[in-house]
Amino acid sequence: MKSREHNVMAAQWDDNGEGMGAPDLTAPGQQIFGSNVFSPVVQRQRLPKAVYKQLQDTLAKGETLDTSLADSVASAMKDWAMEKGATHFTHWFQPLTGSTAEKHDSFYMPTGEGTALAEFAGKELIQGEPDASSFPTGGIRATFEARGYTAWDPTSPAFILENPNGALLCIPTAFASWTGEALDTKIPLLRSMDALSKAAVRALRLLGDDQCERVFTTVGAEQEYFLIDEQYYYERPDLMTTGRTLFGAKPAKGQELDDHYFGSIPQRVLACMLEVELELAKLGVPIKTRHNEVAPAQYELAPMYESSNVGADHQHLVMQVLQQVARDYGLVCLLHEKPFAGINGSGKHNNWSMGTDTGHNLMDPGDTPAENLNFLFFTSAVIAAVNKHQALLRATVASAGQDHRLGANEAPPAIISIFLGGELEGVFNLIEAGEGVPAQPQSYLGLGTPVLPPLPLHGGDRNRTSPFAFTGNKFEFRALGSNQSLGLTNAVLNTIAAEAIDLLADELDAKLAKGETLAEAVLEVVKENYTANKVVIFDGDGYSDEWHAEAQRRGLKNLRTTVDALPELISDSTIEVFAKYQVLSERELHARYEVQVEQYIIALNIESETAATMARTMLLPAALRYLSMIDKAEISTLMDEVKPTVEQFVKEIRALEVVNADHEGQPGTLEEAAYMRDTVIPAMGATREVADRLEKLVADDLWPLPKYSEMLFVR
């Protein structure tokens, strides 16, 4: 079949009338948000009043559930789930694979009389036991040491995943080894949230807040993704195996016209988006925004902000639902950071803030002097934290896929800096100088007046090149990749912020003990810390060569690749701060380092072997057939053009196969990772460069792979 016929077939999507339709959302029965979630509302309806109150008190205090309480919750959860069609339950957890895992167990148990009885006890709710040896552990568990535990996380509600043939009760859980060490991304995130809360509540007491009992971190992650027709996906072994195209010439039209961003959403894509949002609404995921992204075939959805733990869980659900629903529309959702060379890759902006249980956002400048002081104090702490641990933050977003994207004029550079916006940066500069603004009565008149100038929600223009930007009432960490879990990044953010808050609180406490007023003490602390850490503040073009040179002069690290960045996970400063706040032990940190080094090597090895196989068995035969056509036609000028390119292609394929066969360094070490970066990646690049030239020379009906011009524009 000729490629044009493939394109016609791929474009033949039609609404078959079996979609969800357009329900009357004003009708009470049509309110589906959270309908598949065992939420506090459902708990209140299903649990005895005393049990419900005991459960909520236990969660609010962070205490352990006793057995009788767990039995009552399990019974109510089972009945609710079975009414929803669930026959099985699973402990839904997040191992160090970067994805989620589940093992399904039936509610039904045989009675011995030829019948079965539905049972679900509190002990089954609280704890499960999957095989820990089959997940990445970084040496924490040997292959023969299989025992691991999943433990119910009651702060993240259980939910129902629907299937055409039934339903499944999913119980969010933590995953730990038999020795009690964290084997997942949830445990350190929960620990870090506790650490930050303790530090922030202590600071708030010094700042005069006697009401707050707990501080929560919140997150809302904007998700970018590609949708392509599934026919092309299954015709591309590289996409199927690695998630990205290892070959593909630049099309005549890409994203140069800027005509896709915020454009009208294609009908099939919009239909898919609507169903994705419906399914996510049932799961309680608060999707707010959808739109076309910059690259053709690229899109984005964004949720509202939630508790970091729930938000991280919901991000996994967002990725899972996107991939599942897309298939119903003849599409495949690509979550790789860089599925197409020369086209914008996909990221995930991590919007992060801190809020009290009394309803105050600590990253909001506020309207009163007390709120101003809180904002200045906690914002200063974030600046100090990011400056001290800039390299660690970079390491949390490191991966083989990210190395194609960071700093490539589509994502922030690998240098971590903070953008405050012109107005807020000006306020901090005035505090540092001890000056006020005479024209504005609500400003800093010396160090004694703790009132900010009236700040709009957006006190400055956006800076898309900034990795860590203040955006009105939160900080936006823009360097995560599309398919990455939020767990490690937010655990790091929370932990380093806790450390900085404690240090600033020590300074504040000492000044108050000397008899200084609260306003004087806070402003002095802010001034001293801003002066010490303003080196990380930058509001210019992060892509420019001038900034890279300036960052080096400032002493900021520029960790361009994953191999450069990963050692920061086990640096002395990282081990110290994580041990101090009991978020991850040195052994647990080393485990994550080992896992990420190994995954980097494996990912690149899969790519390089796939590239070599495709080049030799698919692309080279196509080129040879074309050479044969030229030879028969006896057109010497074409032969002189094509034959040397084919010969070079053979040379590059052989070179790639050689470097794939003989890796340097001990397997799984940083030395082997450096070999992959310095030797294997260039060999893949050289092979691709020739292949992409051949794609533009070889007859179209001979070329075996769908081209960029087809995959990106046939909708």
Q: What is the pLDDT of residue 179?
A: 81
Between 674 and 371, name the one with better pLDDT.
674
List domains and CATH numbers for the chain: 32-184 (3.10.20.70), 192-584 (3.30.590.10), 597-711 (1.20.120.1560)
In this prediction, residues 625-653 reach a mean pLDDT of 95
pLDDT greater than 50 at residue 439: no
Residue 569: DSSP 8-state: G
Q: What stretch of H or E contains 221?
A: strand 215-229
Q: What is the pLDDT of residue 139?
A: 77
546-583 confidence digits (pLDDT tens):
999 999 999 999 999 999 999 999 999 999 999 999 99
The type of residue at 175 is F
Is there a contact between 208 and 518 (Cβ–Cβ < 8 Å)? Answer: yes
Instruction: Give the Cα separation of 187 and 395 in Å (integer).
Output: 19
Q: Which residues, 6+ apart, have CB-to-CB distance to 37 below 8 Å?
A: 157, 158, 159, 160, 282, 283, 284
332-342 confidence digits (pLDDT tens):
999 999 999 99
Residues in the chain: 715
Q: What is the pLDDT of residue 451?
A: 67
Q: What is the pLDDT of residue 20?
A: 60
54-82 confidence digits (pLDDT tens):
888 877 766 677 778 888 999 999 999 99
**Tokens for 682?**
């260039």
Assign 445 a pLDDT band (cuts: 50, 70, 90).
Answer: very low
Enumerate long-range contacts of 316-322, CB under 8 Å, 24 or more apart.
316/94, 316/99, 316/100, 316/485, 317/159, 317/280, 317/283, 317/285, 318/223, 318/280, 318/285, 318/287, 319/223, 319/483, 320/100, 321/276, 321/279, 321/280, 321/283, 322/223, 322/225, 322/276
In this prediction, residues 497-515 reach a mean pLDDT of 97
**Tokens for 135?**
């997940």
Tell me the pTM.
0.93
Token pair 């023969």 in the structure block, residue: 144
**Tokens for 333?**
């959702």
Q: What percent of the chain has pLDDT over 90?
A: 73
408-433 confidence digits (pLDDT tens):
767 888 999 999 988 889 889 989 98
CB-based burial, 565-592: b 16+ in 10 Å, e otherwise: bbebbbbeebbebbeebebbeeebbbbb
Assign 114 a pLDDT band (cuts: 50, 70, 90).
Answer: low
Is there a contact between 104 and 89 (Cβ–Cβ < 8 Å)? Answer: yes
- The mean of the pLDDT values for the chain is 90
Helix, strand, coil percentages for the chain (3-state, nearest 5): 50, 15, 35
448-483 confidence digits (pLDDT tens):
566 676 766 666 566 778 999 999 899 999 999 999
Assign 371 a pLDDT band (cuts: 50, 70, 90).
Answer: confident
pLDDT greater than 50 at residue 489: yes
pLDDT greater than 80 at residue 197: yes
Q: What is the pLDDT of residue 591?
A: 94
The type of residue at 31 is Q
Is there a contact between 129 and 178 (Cβ–Cβ < 8 Å)? Answer: no
129-162 confidence digits (pLDDT tens):
777 677 878 777 665 566 788 989 989 999 999 9
